[in-house]
Amino acid sequence: MNYSDVFRDKELVQGLAKRIAELTRGRTEPLVFMEVCGTHTNAIYQFGLRSLLPPEVRLISGPGCPVCVTPNSYLDCAVALCRLPDVIIASFGDMLRVPGSSSSLMEERAKGADIRVVYSPLDAVQLAAKNPDKRVVFLGVGFETTAPTIAGSILAAKAQGLSNYFVLASHKTMPQPMAILSADPELQVDGYICPAHVSAIIGADAYRFLCEEYKVPCVVTGFEPTDVLQGVEMLVRQAIAGESKVEIQYSRVVRWEGNAKAQAMLADVFTPFDAPWRGIGVLPGSGLRIADKYAEFDAELAIPVQVEELKEHKGCLCGEILKGKVAPFDCPLFGGKCTPESPVGACMVSSEGTCAAAYKYGR
């Protein structure tokens, strides 16, 4: 079975949209649902799902992309590291174009820094094995989906006895920002489209406290158009019935308890810390840094650098975008000063950033 085709069935998509419209007809207050994964944001724009929904249902984007929520201070540190003559930076591609305070990795590469894009953190470990006279620093960003792959790379480097592999770790975990946004009186969130592959790791049970403490419905959905729409329909039903519970639409991948092995890897290699989020600020216990036990792999400890003074970009509304308070079109720089070719803010860089998706697919 080809999973992407069958879950894009036009008739099913229309049937789902029709059912959502029937359920919400005549509501005076729209129901507002937030997605917190960039892959969902991208799917919603790509398949034009907003245009299929009735005006009574509004979808807003939250802090869904690890690239977007990574603050300038992290990028500045990466830039400082890449200027060292014996350092190779290895990173997922998205990070290269994100502007830091005064430079980006892309600009540094043009000036001669050794920066490699890798598909897997294991490729970065191999790079270290092949370049024993260099220090390879992997840029460890990402949510709970990506963090275990980076934990895996540290375990692999240890098993191979490498002493020249390091991670600049600033991983983020998802449920905390959702709790903060739920408690924000300026935001009305009637339900969450919970991230799919983050949930494959942490399990749907991880959202239960949100339903209990903030009375907000949570549905874990997949990324295909029928997945997202069925998820929205489940949220609509809960909202109308005045319920708030966790449901799994994406049952072909996500289990209540999640992936125990990946969770154990996270608990072994990382330790929670108070992580800074772009636009949101420091959230207690919302990040993962390298545990003391693996300190030898921590780039921050092993390779201290002088980082330039922090500057934010004038006029960029990324912070408000990431909190779901404004839409890309509300930003005066959108499409003019700020485009995917020359991004001012992070949300325009990552292919899954809200501004980039809005630019590519239009309203």
Partner 1 sequence: MCVGVPMQVVSVDGDFAMTEVDGVKREASLMMLDQEVKVGDFVIVHAGFAISKLDEEEAKATLELMREVYSPELMG
360 binds partner 1, rule: CB under 8 A: no
In degrees and rounded to multiples of 5, residue 176 shows phi and psi of -60, -50
**202 or 236: CB nearest ligand SF4:** 202
Q: How far is the CB of 37 from ligand SF4 (least distance, A)?
A: 4
321 binds ligand SF4, rule: CB under 6 A: yes
Residues 14-53 that bind ligand SF4 (CB under 6 A): 37-39
Which of 59, 254, 344, 357 forms a contact with partner 1 (CB under 8 A)?
A: 254
The beta-strand segments (E) located in the chain are 31-35, 57-61, 87-91, 115-117, 135-140, 165-169, 171-172, 191-194, 218-220, 246-248, 270-277, 281-290
Which of 120, 160, 163, 342 forms a contact with partner 1 (CB under 8 A)?
A: 120
Residues in the chain: 363
202: phi > 0 → left, psi -120 to 50 → alpha, else beta; which?
alpha
Which of 64, 177, 276, 287 forms a contact with ligand SF4 (CB under 6 A)?
A: 64
In degrees and rounded to multiples of 5, residue 352 shows phi and psi of -105, 5
Which of 317, 322, 323, 357 forms a contact with ligand SF4 (CB under 6 A)?
A: 317
133 binds partner 1, rule: CB under 8 A: no
The beta-strand segments (E) located in 182-244 are 191-194, 218-220
**Three-state DSSP class for residue 171:** strand
193 binds ligand SF4, rule: CB under 6 A: no
Q: CA 198 to CA 151: how far, in whole Å?
A: 15
For the record, the structure tokens of 200 come out as 């494959």
**149 or 271: CB nearest partner 1:** 149
**113 or 347: CB nearest ligand SF4:** 347
Q: How far is the CB of 138 from ligand SF4 (least distance, A)?
A: 16
38 binds partner 1, rule: CB under 8 A: yes
Q: How far is the CB of 130 from partner 1 (least distance, A)?
A: 17
Task: Count, in order, helices (H) and strands (E) of the chain.
Answer: 17, 12
**Sheet of 171-172, strand order:** 171-172, 281-290, 270-277
Residue nearest to ligand SF4 (CB): 38
Q: How far is the CB of 146 from partner 1 (least distance, A)?
A: 6
Long-range contacts of 265-274 (CB under 8 A, 24+ apart): 265/148, 265/151, 265/152, 265/155, 266/144, 266/147, 266/148, 266/151, 266/201, 268/151, 268/293, 269/151, 269/154, 269/155, 269/294, 270/147, 270/151, 270/169, 270/171, 272/173
Q: How far is the CB of 155 from ligand SF4 (least distance, A)?
A: 22
Strand-pair partners of 33: 59, 191
157 binds ligand SF4, rule: CB under 6 A: no
358 binds partner 1, rule: CB under 8 A: no
Residues 344-363 that bind ligand SF4 (CB under 6 A): 344-345, 347-348, 352, 355
Q: Of 27-35, 60-68, 211-219, 289-297, which segment contacts partner 1 by CB under 8 A? A: 60-68
155 binds, among ligand SF4, partner 1, none (CB under 5 to 8 A by kind): partner 1
Instruction: Name the residues that contact ligand SF4, by CB under 6 A.
Output: 37-39, 64-67, 143, 316-318, 321, 328, 331, 333-334, 338, 344-345, 347-348, 352, 355
